[in-house]
Amino acid sequence: MALAYLLGKGASKALHTKINIPILLVLSILPDIDILSEFLFNHPIHRGPTHSIIVALLIFLPFFVIYRKKAIPYFLGLISHSLIGDFIAGGQLRLLWPLSQAEFGLHELGFPIIKVGSQTEILLELSLFVIATLVLIISKDWRVFFKGRLSNLVLIIPITTVLLPSTIGYPFNESLLITEPILALAHIFYAALFSIAILTTLKTLYQRWFGKKDNKKPDNHTNQPTIKTPYQFEK
């Protein structure tokens, strides 16, 4: 998510377009939806079609036609997951599925393997987290998480994916709080930030839906004299 944010942010600056950060963050973790296949069908297909650049391109084609350059930061956010993150850590990506079943990654290119959960991978993740957090603060992008925007509700997806590894430990054998407490803190930071965004949005929606009757009353009161007065004069 940190990587997608940095890339998406950079691209939006260069292209002079606006980005919706919560949607960008969700797109960056979407390829890992294939983890669900293990649960639903008892058939692990991790790093398969959902990590394919061809599939990402096909999905994004209509968005490129409609939104043109505005879609580029989101596309970069999505493909950064496979093309950079997973490519460096773990590899074994079917990047060109369905055109090719070949697996890609840094290790497949002849470099030493960087496993998910290894010290090198954790260091990379933490570095990206620190840089992304600094950019989030300096650019004042953090303010989006304190606004009651409907699109903030999509953050329920990363909340589940960042909270699960750092609390119950899935997909690792143990909780990150025990194995990698510093990395767990980064997860909890995002989870807290996203929870604030969701709660703020829910509060705004609640006020909009259930606070309507109260809001109408003053309007009626202010309208009544302006309607009544000319009517009374006419009489």
* Euclidean distance between CA atoms 5 and 13, whole angstroms: 12
CA distances in angstroms from 179 to 62, 68, 93, 172, 185, listed in the order given: 43, 44, 26, 10, 12
Query: Nearest Cα to 26, choosing from 151, 113, 127?
Result: 151
Closer to Zn ion by Cβ: residue 22 or 31: 31
How many CA atoms are closer than 13 Å to the CA of 15, on its beta-carbon side?
18
Q: Is 32 in the site for Zn ion (CB under 5 A)?
A: yes
* Euclidean distance between CA atoms 29 and 171, whole angstroms: 14
Q: How far is the CB of 108 from Zn ion (least distance, A)?
A: 15
Closer to Zn ion by Cβ: residue 52 or 152: 52
Q: How far is the CB of 74 from Zn ion (least distance, A)?
A: 17
- Candidate list 83, 86, 125, 166; residue touching Zn ion; CB under 5 A: 86
* Interacting span for Zn ion (CB under 5 A) from 30-38, 128-136, 167-175, 193-201: 30-38
* Residue 152 structure tokens: 């903030």
Closer to Zn ion by Cβ: residue 86 or 180: 86
Q: Is 121 in the site for Zn ion (CB under 5 A)?
A: no
218 prior amide bond cis, ω within 30:
no
* Interacting span for Zn ion (CB under 5 A) from 32-40, 119-127, 133-141, 175-183: 32-40
Q: How far is the CB of 9 from Zn ion (least distance, A)?
A: 21
Instruction: Kindly list the residues in this chain that would bind Zn ion in the complex (CB under 5 A).
Output: 31-32, 86
